[in-house]
Chain A
Amino acid sequence: MTGGKLTRASEACIPHSRMRRVVLEARVWRKRVIKRMLPVISFRLITFAAIILSMIAWPTQSQARPYRDGIPWSILLCKFSDSPTPPNTAGYYSNMTIASGTNGLDDYVRSISNGIADLSGSTLHGWYTESHTLAYEQALTNRWQRVQDCLDTAASSSTNKYVPPAGQRVYVITSPGVDLAGWENTGAIGGDDVALPEIAHEFGHGVGLNHSWSNDTTWKDATWSGGGEYDNPWDLMSAANVFVDPTGAFGGGPPDLDAHHLDELGFLGKSRIDTLGVDGILTRTVTLAALTHPEAGGYLLARIPFDSADRFHYYTVEYRTPDSWDAGIPASIVMINEVKNNGSYYQTTLLRQLGTYAGTGNGPPVQSLNANGVTISVQSTLGNQATIQIHTNFALQCSQGYVWREASSIDRVCVVPATRTQTASDNAAAASRHLPNSQTCVQGYVWREAFPGDFVCVTPARRAQAKTDDADAYNHVNQGLVTYGPNTCQNGYVWRDGDDHDYVCVLPATRTQVQLDNAAAAGRHVPGSDICVQGYVWRQAWRTDHVCVTPATRSQAASDNAQATARLAQLFS
């Protein structure tokens, strides 16, 4: 073995029937191989070798979500012993993938991640010339072997030796092309005619994303695909069945990821996501900003949970406009998806109109919904913003010692029982505290404003109490039922919250320390600079994190980063 960093590719992304068949074929093949080799090498020797291999060649865990900073890839270019001159230079593929400012993959990732991630740390190597012929590679039945042969060639090169760092994802481009496939969290292979949407799609698989789907389950895009799979042309993970901007570089500009996939990668700030109901308010009018316009005010994603049996089963709403990386989509549109467990992973399912459209893969995305106790309707779209009305009947149960406030029929904020009693009392006295025929409160009283439109008149102290209860609503619900999305932490852990994008799960004491360090940040810098005063160092919980902390705290941050994926409640992919 040489530089091949094998990982076991995920099977989660292909239809079950096909997945089972492929796995069975692999098992049968493996048995045949072992049977053939038995006369030569004892089974014990093979077992021993497999153990050794797992220690040497099985990679350390790839960097995994939530992602932040550089997501390094190794791009390798390989041709065969009888290949003609490749159509493009290495520089072309470098510009397409890892270079900045070229409208290639690095720019795409930087843009859709809202500036928190890119491909820095990536390298490109080649062209290498393999000893095998094109016909030999085409005839291979083990598709990974095509990747492996390129890796082996690079590792044994006398002039340009390269072995990818352990665990780093690999993309192999061959000339001519012999395959088009990906291995989750591992790598991918494509041909010399690869276009940007295609390579971006494989990047998506490489960071753990699965395909997107629609509810049109009688439509199949390809013979191997499941019903409704690849049927969200607004989402990169349906490529190549996606709306590409044909004027884009390198074969066209791919569309953005859908909001759930962005959420899964950690690319949406927490303050830009509204999860209906977790604050006890079951009905809201929400302003959405277009995914390609984070500078516009409003949420980028609305989650609407409704399933008491599965807190990760919910609807999502997002807004898209035909510009930037979404320049290929036909028009501005609100998209409603259902995130649900398909038995292998949580898939995003675009809700299309069916009826006469069923089986066509062409039904317009629904613009309203009334199902599972949830209603969603688009009120308006204007420029980079859309206004939607959302409601759910799904109210989270309170944690022990708390009850619903029920200031109104839509108020499910969890409060102590005494507050609930007081609220009911205030409601009963409401009429007597208004000036006649008006909503104006009599002297000494003010609107409670426990929720938008709450004009019950209470004492200023009661209003302050309501405000405090609203702010603490998250903390008083049954945490085991709360949906915080794909990056929800396991019990016992909380988000570090170093900033709006910091989804790393840490112990509560660590978060408290982070809050203290953030608050003390200004006093730990040499005035007029971001240099730390003596005894402190940059925390570097992420690349640009220059909060000054003790060296021990910085070590803690690095350690927490390394544990981030393992502390997630649910691996979505």
Chain B
Amino acid sequence: MIPLVGVVAFIVAATTVPVEGPAPMSESVARVQLVKLGYPSITSLKRNGNYWEANVTKNGVPQVIRLNVLTGARVQPTVPIRRVPIEHAIVKPSA
């Protein structure tokens, strides 16, 4: 026997229609946000799933900034792009 209250709750719940939550931040808004964060020099900005991923340069140092498209929040600490030292670079052997 299915509990009566549960059945009624089920039916009522099925009639509730939610409003969608926040929509994604657009590219132009993401650019403004990066400038406000102090990164006016943006070399590329790409949508990568739930993030805007920006390659920026600050004080001559290239960095990657990720912004959550639904919150606008910076998702990770700024990650400097690793520069591979010349001596450790993989050199493709010549044929």
Contacts and interface: CB of A to CB of B under 8 A. Distances in A.
Interface string B23-58: 111101100110111000000000000000000000
B2 A41 contact: yes
A195 B71 contact: yes
Nearest to B16: A144
Contact of A246 (B15, B21, B37): B37
B47 to A, nearest CB: 12
B72 A197 contact: yes
Contact of A53 (B2, B12, B69): B12
Contacts of A233: 26, 28-29, 32
A257 to B, nearest CB: 15
A9 B17 contact: yes
Contacts of B5: 1, 49, 53
Interface string A409-425: 00000000000000000
Interface residues of A, number: 76
Given A33-B11, A40-B1, A183 B18 contact: yes
B18 A182 contact: yes
A239 B33 contact: no
A218 interface: no
B33 A37 contact: no
A569 interface: no
A567 B70 CA distance: 37
A290 interface: no
A194 B22 CA distance: 11
Given A240-B70, A241-B29, A246-B72, A45 B17 contact: no
A30 B15 contact: yes
Contacts of A57: 9, 12
Interface in A1-55: 1, 4, 6-11, 13-14, 19, 22-23, 26, 29-30, 33-34, 37, 40-41, 45-46, 49-50, 52-53
Interface in A200-249: 201-202, 205, 221-222, 224-225, 229-230, 233, 238-247
8 tightest Cβ-Cβ pairs between the two chains A and B: A180-B21, A195-B71, A181-B18, A240-B22, A251-B73, A244-B72, A230-B23, A13-B19
16 contacts: A1-B5, A6-B13, A7-B16, A9-B17, A26-B14, A142-B10, A144-B16, A183-B18, A190-B21, A221-B23, A233-B29, A240-B72, A243-B29, A243-B36, A244-B33, A329-B32
Interface of B: 1-2, 4-5, 7-26, 28-29, 32-33, 35-37, 68-74
